[in-house]
Amino acid sequence: MFFIVDANVLIDFIEVDEAFLTLAVRHLGPIHVPRDVLDEVSRMDEARCDRLGLIIAEGTVEQLLEAGATHGPLSYYDRLCFILARDQGWTCVTNDRRLRRECEAFDVDVMWGLQMILGVLAAGGLDAASALELGEAVVSSSGWISKGVLQRFREEVAGR
């Protein structure tokens, strides 16, 4: 499985526990970050991506033009994540509801950032206590993931 992360997921994990991204790469598969998203996230650079095992994704000229020309509820960066996921067959990891809806409308695989934690837990890369601590820290840090989502995450962790 291959993944692409948007800025909000990247920022959440960088702020809380960037080492999780290395675990995710090891246990789930390659994680791509669009070059333009990397440029948008001030605390990330190529060297840090390399240390974490993240792959910088370069869009083609056509993909970049499509992302720039499309109008609607998505930002340029979110459209680029969608286009790369769509064209490459990658799973888009985002906490943005609009980007999720776009992915779902075009049958592009999509998952929440917390689902990535559950995947690493299921693969044996984290124990339940560590997964729960990480998920709670991500929710606390992001400030826009609801308590209901956190409760469902806790239930998922407890069920594993």
CATH number at residue 106: 3.40.50.1010
Q: How many domains does the chain have?
A: 2
Q: Which two tokens stand for residue 72?
A: 């609607």
Same domain, 53 and 79: yes
Q: Where are the beta strands (DSSP E) in 10-159?
A: 31-34, 55-57, 91-93, 110-111
In the structure, what pLDDT confidence band is assigned to residue 43 with cuts at 50, 70 and 90?
confident
Residue 32: domain span:
3-113
- Where b means 16+ CB within 10 Å and e means fewer, 74-96 reads bbebbbbbbbbbbeeebbbbbbb
Is the pLDDT confidence value at 70 over 80? Answer: no
Same domain, 146 and 80: no
| 22 class by beta-carbon count within 10 Å (0-12 exposed, 13-18 middle, 19+ buried) | middle
Same domain, 87 and 141: no
Same domain, 87 and 38: yes
If one counts every other C-beta atom within 10 angstroms of the C-beta of residue 147, the result is 8
Same domain, 62 and 108: yes
Same domain, 98 and 129: no
Same domain, 17 and 75: yes
DSSP 90: P
Same domain, 152 and 105: no
Same domain, 87 and 140: no
Same domain, 31 and 108: yes
- The CA distance from 54 to 32, in Å, is 6
Instruction: Kindly report, residue by residue over 98-141, the tens digit of the pLDDT.
Output: 999 999 999 999 999 999 999 999 999 999 999 999 999 999 98
Mean pLDDT for the stretch of residues 75-83: 96
